[in-house]
């Protein structure tokens, strides 16, 4: 078992290395060259030449790559062209916001998606199932940012049920502990702050959850249908077991295997969705950072966030692989 984990970990390394190479190549290809990219508006020929020497751009490429790698590992991505702050500091500050949003979206997608997928499969062909399938198809076809704006327009502006943007109302004075607004409120017993953070979460989380929800429902439904027709479920039924036993121990335990892989995949994709959602709701997390970086050509920030996004995706996939080994006994044999 341990060998399996170690082996999988080792397999990730070449991927990460290759990723860093690609990133390096990308950085060098940015308009004007890396120096110009890093200097932004303040670039003048002298400054570029200066920075070139500092960055070691006059040195052989392999060496440059190693220096880049070194800086990347130590987390030195330079300063943002917009704020002048260290990029890593900005990211660290924005991270909890995005994580909170992602967790909320994931919870919605999973807690709603799996039961819905199961019920659709169970009552296959009936109206609920048909409606669900259509719903999932539409859900994937709707542009996330449009949905975000719709929700904002209807529920925040028109109906006023939810705040239209931000993580917390301006007049609430919340103490920051972990950076997770809802959690912080609970820890410091400022329950009104917690509640306020919660209602701010609702609309963006729904918008972000739409696509993962649609995908999870679909995969769950397909998987359950597949398992329900299998021989061992027939055996379970032939034993006269209670329907709940058959459902939990035999159908679900097998059907949820591919679903867990999907959940992992979708988690990795959440950052991408967050970019769009956070722009709409001015959330102030990584997505907002990224959106600004794109708009204003802030390359230092851009490269850091993209790398982070890729890293998260790779690591999440790794975790999913490993968890598969825990839940599916057949995998451990190798």
Judge whether 281 and 166 are in contact, CB under 8 Å.
yes
Binding residues for another protein restricted to 239-268, rule: CB under 8 A: 239-243, 245, 249-250, 253-254, 257, 268
What's the min distance (Å) between Cβ of 104 and another protein? 19
Strand pairing partners for 153? none
What's the min distance (Å) between Cβ of 193 and another protein? 29
Cα angle, residue 277 at apex, residues 158 and 218 outer, rounded to 5°: 100
Judge whether 210 and 218 are in contact, CB under 8 Å.
no
157 counts as binding another protein under rule CB under 8 A = yes
What's the min distance (Å) between Cβ of 106 and another protein? 15
Site size toward another protein (CB under 8 A) is: 71
What's the min distance (Å) between Cβ of 111 and another protein? 23
> CB under 8 Å to 175, separation ≥6 — which residues?
184, 188, 190, 193
279 counts as binding another protein under rule CB under 8 A = yes
What share of residues in the chain are helix, strand, coil (percent, to 5)?
80, 0, 20
271 counts as binding another protein under rule CB under 8 A = yes
Question: With CB under 8 A as the contact rule, which of the stretches 56-64, 67-75, 190-198, 313-321 interacts with another protein?
Answer: 313-321
Nearer to another protein, 140 or 177 (CB): 140
Q: How many CB atoms lie within 10 A of CB 98?
A: 25
Nearer to another protein, 172 or 331 (CB): 331
Nearer to another protein, 181 or 227 (CB): 227
Nearer to another protein, 31 or 60 (CB): 31
Nearer to another protein, 131 or 177 (CB): 131
Binding residues for another protein restricted to 175-234, rule: CB under 8 A: 226, 230-232, 234
What are the distances in angstroms from CA 202 to CA 113, 182, 195?
17, 12, 11
Nearer to another protein, 77 or 299 (CB): 299
Per DSSP, 328 falls in state: -
Nearer to another protein, 209 or 302 (CB): 302
Please pick, from the candidates 291, 300, 301, 304, the single residue that binds another protein as defined by CB under 8 A: 291
DSSP string, 51-101: HHHHHTTTS-HHHHHHHHHHHHHTT---B-TTT-SBHHHHHHHHHHHHHHH
236 counts as binding another protein under rule CB under 8 A = yes
Judge whether 91 and 286 are in contact, CB under 8 Å.
yes
325 counts as binding another protein under rule CB under 8 A = no
What's the min distance (Å) between Cβ of 235 and another protein? 5
238 counts as binding another protein under rule CB under 8 A = yes
Please pick, from the candidates 276, 277, 301, 304, the single residue that binds another protein as defined by CB under 8 A: 276
Please pick, from the candidates 45, 60, 62, 125, the single residue that binds another protein as defined by CB under 8 A: 125
**Closest to 89 in 3D by CA, of 294, 289, 276, 293:** 289
In angstroms, the CA 89 to CA 118 distance is 43
160 counts as binding another protein under rule CB under 8 A = no
Binding residues for another protein restricted to 9-68, rule: CB under 8 A: 14-15, 18-19, 22, 26, 29-32
DSSP string, 138-159: HHHHS-HHHHHHHHIIIIIIIS
In angstroms, the CA 268 to CA 285 distance is 16
What's the min distance (Å) between Cβ of 97 and another protein? 18
In angstroms, the CA 113 to CA 105 distance is 11
């Amino acid at each position: 078992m341990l060998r399996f984990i170690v082996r999988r970990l080792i397999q990730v390394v070449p991927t990460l290395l290759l990723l860093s190479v690609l990133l390096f190549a990308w950085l060098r290809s940015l308009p004007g060259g890396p120096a110009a990219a890093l200097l932004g508006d303040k670039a003048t020929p002298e400054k570029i030449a200066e920075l070139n020497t500092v960055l070691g751009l006059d040195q052989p490429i392999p060496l440059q790559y190693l220096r880049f790698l070194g800086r990347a590992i130590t987390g030195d991505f330079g300063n943002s062209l917009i704020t002048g702050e260290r990029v890593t500091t900005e990211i660290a500050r924005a991270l909890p916001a995005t994580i909170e949003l992602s967790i909320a979206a994931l919870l919605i997608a999973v807690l709603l998606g799996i039961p819905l997928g199961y019920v659709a499969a169970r009552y296959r062909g009936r109206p609920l199932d048909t409606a669900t399938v259509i719903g999932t198809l539409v859900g994937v076809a709707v542009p996330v940012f449009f949905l975000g704006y719709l929700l904002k327009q209807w529920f925040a502006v028109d109906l006023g049920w939810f705040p239209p943007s931000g993580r917390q109302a301006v007049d609430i004075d919340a103490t920051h502990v972990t950076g997770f607004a809802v959690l912080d409120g609970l820890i410091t017993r400022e329950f009104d702050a917690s509640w306020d953070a919660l209602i701010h979460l609702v609309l963006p989380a729904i918008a972000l959850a739409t696509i993962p929800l649609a995908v999870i429902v679909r995969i769950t439904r397909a998987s359950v249908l597949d398992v329900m027709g299998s021989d061992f479920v027939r055996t379970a039924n032939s034993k006269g077991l209670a329907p709940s036993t058959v459902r939990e121990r035999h159908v679900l335990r097998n059907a949820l295997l591919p679903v867990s892989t999907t959940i992992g995949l979708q988690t990795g994709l959440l950052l991408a969705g967050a970019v769009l959602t956070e722009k709409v709701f001015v959330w102030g997390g990584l997505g907002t950072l990224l959106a600004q970086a794109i708009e204003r050509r802030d390359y230092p920030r851009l490269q850091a966030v993209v790398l982070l996004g890729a890293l998260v995706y790779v690591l999440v996939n790794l975790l999913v692989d490993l968890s598969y080994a825990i839940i599916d006994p057949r995998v451990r044999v190798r």
